[in-house]
Structure 1
Amino acid sequence: MKKSLLALAALGAFAGVAHAQSSVTLYGIVDVGINMNTNAGGFHKYDMSSGVLQGSRFGLRGTEDLGGGLKALFVLENGFDVTNGKLGQGGLMFGRQAYVGLSSQFGTVTLGRQYDSVVDYVGPLESGDQWGGYIGAHPGDLDNFNNSFRTNNTIKYTSANYNGLTFGGTYSLGGQAGNFTGNQIWSLGAGYNNGPLVLGVGYLNARTPAASGGLFNNGGTIATNTPATATTAANFAITSPVYAGFASANTYQVVGAGGAYTFGAATIGLTYSNIRFGNLGKTFASPFTGQTATLNNGEINFKYQLTPALLVGAAYDYTRGAEIANTSRAQYHQGSVGVDYFLSKRTDVYVIGVYQHALGETLSATGSVVDAHAGINGLTGSSTNNQFAARVGIRHKF
């Protein structure tokens, strides 16, 4: 009897150790609120929407200890709309992230649908990724700092942490027979986080971004086929008036950098990005075939932790658009403010306000030169050069 009890105890202890070597965690965010848009295509608009401060989601993440410092890991993350229960990211089951890989003292390699290096290393430094939500992101999220576009078929490397320094890169196979570079995406980045100082740099390069399966159209978005002419370009998810006219480019390139410094309860941050749409007219017809459109963006942001439960923030963002065919370069001035009050560690209520003013001229989705109109990210564009949006929301994490 004693031997049986000892054997049972030994088996129980072994089972406990085996269970501790692997884990699976269910997690998620539910974010919903009421919005006001002063000019949605010429009309005032009031609506309820999901996932502005952070995208509503639920996911599974897990690890398994393989011994010798080697671990297997996976993430399956779904996006959804709280207001109607629909799947996000164009209806994909795990449209936010889906990958599996191995991790060791030398870093982590993962394969699947993932984030690029600009998103990983520079994105967290813009106000939109902190307290401003996607409406506080740069106009049209033209530099992808706010993660509007994810990468499919991606091989990703992330280094170990070397006293605050990390680095990595991604490569996404285009999967086109006979065209190795078609739809391919690659990125590189590095970050430093030590004490009050945070720095990040990133580079992103995507071929034929608006083609079916390209960066702008790889998540079950509005369009499913490559349009034949510029007049059908508006069918794409590239509806932002900031750069809809440049979606025919053969190459989309982003160079980004940012930094933040915390002193006491205050943090001040800066970001910069250079965006190039190269060889217009490659994906579909454009009256400016072969030309390159270059845009530049700069942001300064500030946040202050008034109390452990109350955060306030403010930011100013400036975008200088591309000059095409002797047009007056478009300019976008954007200011945003936010207040976030934490009811608990997992639940907060927030208010965000964003104002944008546009100047100059740009290229429309149909290929014509038009006056620049305001276009706060994620919202229906304005019929004029001004737009104001406000949101009151609640977020719960689990």
Structure 2
Amino acid sequence: MVKIRYIAAACAMVAAGAAHAQSSVTLFGLIDTGIVYQNNARVTPGSATSPGASSWSMQSGNIFTSRWGLRGTEDLGGGLSAVFWLENGFNVDNGTLKNGGDLFGRQAWVGLHSNQYGTVTLGRQYDFMVDFVAPMSATGSGFGGNLASHVFDNDNLNNDMRLNNSIKFSSVSYDGIKVGAMYAFSGEAGNFSNNGAYSLGASYAYGPFKLGAAYLQINRTAQPDLANATGAVSTGDGDELTTGGSQQIFGAGAQYSFGASTIGAVWTHSVTYNITGVFQDGSTSTGALAGESMKFDNFELNGRYFVRPDFSLGASYTYTTGQFSGASKGFTSASPHWNQIMAQADYFLSPRTDIYIEGVYQKVSGGNGNGAFDASIFTLDPAAGDEQVAVAIGMKHRF
């Protein structure tokens, strides 16, 4: 009887070990912070008439937003797995939460993955501009990260915006081709389309070449008293890139790799109708722009070269044209355009830890005196004028 008991216990341990081997939960994260210098920063943030001065500060997330999270998978058999992802963003400098204090404000989703077809997930997720176009860019998931973002992150390549209440399908690769589609519910009774959204995308990889294209549509009313704050795009946690009416974003990119080095090109277009505000200085301020529409076209060239396996040099140039129609609401219409240059040197102390220096120069013209069109680099203090330089020296560590 004793022997049988021992054998049963051993079998139970083996079974538990086998079950554990078929599922996993991983703690992951990244910490990025450094010292930032910028010239011509507004002495009074939020005031378009403020004088400018040089500024030194410690900034979290100069290249990649600091984050930690949990991801996991469970093998269900037959090539099917349950998957989940919970990801939190935080500020290293003072320990506060990002995304308006949301616990898992970066991502929160659960779903099923099929080895044959792809993955279906439900929750708070990125759209396909982030998945398929951003990897071709220097910003977002690219080597230049946050500081290299296109003005106001108007095309979401820097993934400042997520879609709540979304269901998303991403296919496996079929001869190098991947496709995806998603829909985000408004959640509002009696008004199915008020702050709902959908996104489509595709990518193709052949040897060292990669191509990607995507489309994002956000449907919402321009009437403030009817705004749906808890719909597809949150209005209470700083996730919205613009305020106002409906928004469209689409674009395409290409990349060529040689070894670990890359060169890339990206074009994106975005428009917000009945606009009232843009993402600037780390938040979406209303009243800065009030007009019939605001349109952007971004043209970017980028490249990164590994001088040695542990040392890389990178650069990007982005030309952005804008068209603001504001006369109907008492604002002066304008056709601003931005020239932005980014340069970076990155040295890897180990596969998980590196130190970097990155500089950005931005020049704006054609703003017709509207302070919203002063130079503005990522979430740093906007310039008191049409020109600004920012330089960051920092460190990143992954775990």
Short-chain TM bin = 0.7 to 0.9
In the alignment, is residue 357 of structure 1 matched against residue 369 of structure 2?
A: no
Unaligned runs of 5+ in 1: 223-236, 239-246, 365-369
Q: 1:152-191 counterparts in 2 under 5 A? A: 152-191=164-203
Conserved? CA contact 1:123–1:146, under 8 Å: yes
Which of 54, 59, 70 aligns to 1:49? It is 59
- Correspondence list, 1:76-115, <5 A: 76-104=86-114, 105-115=116-126
Partner SS, residue 85 of structure 1 = coil
Does residue 140 in structure 1 map to residue 152 in structure 2? yes
Superposition map of 1:356-375 within 5 A: 356-361=362-367, 372-375=373-376
Aligned residue type for 2:350: S
**2 CA distance for matches of 1:318 and 1:373?**
15
Return the alpha-carbon distance in structure 1 between the equivalents of residues 221 and 304 of structure 2.
Answer: 34
Q: Distance in 1 between matches of 2:79 and 2:358?
A: 44
- Cα distance in 2 between the residues matched to 1:360 and 1:276: 18
Q: Distance in 1 between matches of 2:313 and 2:287?
A: 46
Superposition pairs of residues 12-91 of structure 1, within 5 angstroms: 12-41=13-42, 42-91=52-101
Q: Report the CA distance shift for 1:218/1:303 in structure 2 as closer, same or farther (over 3 A).
A: same
Q: Once the 2 structures are TM-superposed, how far is the Cα of residue 271 of structure 1 from its aligned partner?
A: 0.3
1:263 to 258, 261, 264: 258
Give the match for residue 118 of structure 1: 129
Structure 2: how far apart are the matches of 1:202 and 1:103?
22
Give the 5 Å matches for 1:324-335.
324=325, 325=327, 327-335=333-341
Q: Cα distance 1:35–1:214, how it changes in 2: closer, same or farther (>3 A)? A: farther
Report SS of the residue matched to 1:383: coil
Partner secondary structure for residue 256 of structure 2:
strand
- Alpha carbons of structure 1 residues 71 and 125: separation in structure 2 relative to 1, 3 Å: same
Q: How does 1:225-304 map to 2 (within 5 A)?
A: 247-264=242-259, 266-280=261-275, 291-304=292-305
Query: How far did residue 6 of structure 1 move?
Result: 4.0
Do the aligned residues in 2 keep the contact of 1:208 with 1:214 (CA within 8 Å)?
Answer: no
Percent of pairs with identical residues: 44
Q: Classify 1:362/1:205 alpha carbon distance in 2 versus 1 (closer, same or farther; 3 Å).
A: farther
C-alpha distance 328-14 of structure 1, shift in aligned 2 (>3 A): closer
CA distances 1:270-318 after superposition (whole Å, capped 9, x unpaired): 0000111124579x999976x3332211000011011110011011000
The AA in structure 2 aligned to 1:221 is G
Equivalent residue of 1:39, what SS?
strand
Query: How many equivalent residue pairs?
Result: 369
> Take 2:288 and 2:309, find their aligned partners in 1: how far apart are those partners?
53
Give the residue type in structure 1 aligned to 2:10. A
Q: Identify the residue that residue 313 of structure 1 maps to in structure 2.
A: 314
Distance across 2 between alignment mates of 1:182 and 1:216: 10
CA distance in 2, matches of 1:203, 1:125: 15
Moved more, 378-387 or 161-170: 161-170
1:339 alignment counterpart: 345
- Separation in 1, partners of 2:91, 2:13: 43
Hey, what's the Cα distance between the residues in 2 that align with 1:280 and 1:397?
38
Higher fraction of strand? 2
Q: Which runs of 5+ in 2 are unaligned?
A: 43-51, 278-285
SS across alignment from 1:148: coil
Q: Aligned partners of 1:271, 1:386: CA distance in 2, in Å?
A: 24
Deviations along 1:2-25, one digit per CA (max 9) or x if unpaired, are 555544433332221111111111
Structure 1 counterpart of 2:219, which letter?
A: R
Read off the aligned partner of 2:104 and give its amino acid letter: F
CA contact (8 A) 1:149 1:215 kept: no
Q: 2: distance between equivalents of 1:293 and 1:363? A: 16
Query: Per-residue deviation at 1:193?
Result: 2.8
Query: Is contact 2:194-2:221 (8 Å) kept?
Result: no
Worse-matched range after superposition: 33-42 or 384-393: 33-42
Q: Answer yes or no: is the 8 Å Cα contact 1:336–1:354 preserved in 2.
A: yes
SS at match of 2:130: helix
> Do 2:288 and 2:372's aligned partners in 1 also have CA atoms closer than 8 Å?
no
- CA drift of 1:209 comes to 8.2
Q: For 1:20, give the aligned amino acid.
A: A
| Contact 1:126/1:137, CA 8 A, preserved across alignment | no
- RMSD of aligned C-alpha atoms? 2.5
Q: Is the 8 A contact 2:165 2:232 kept in 1?
A: no
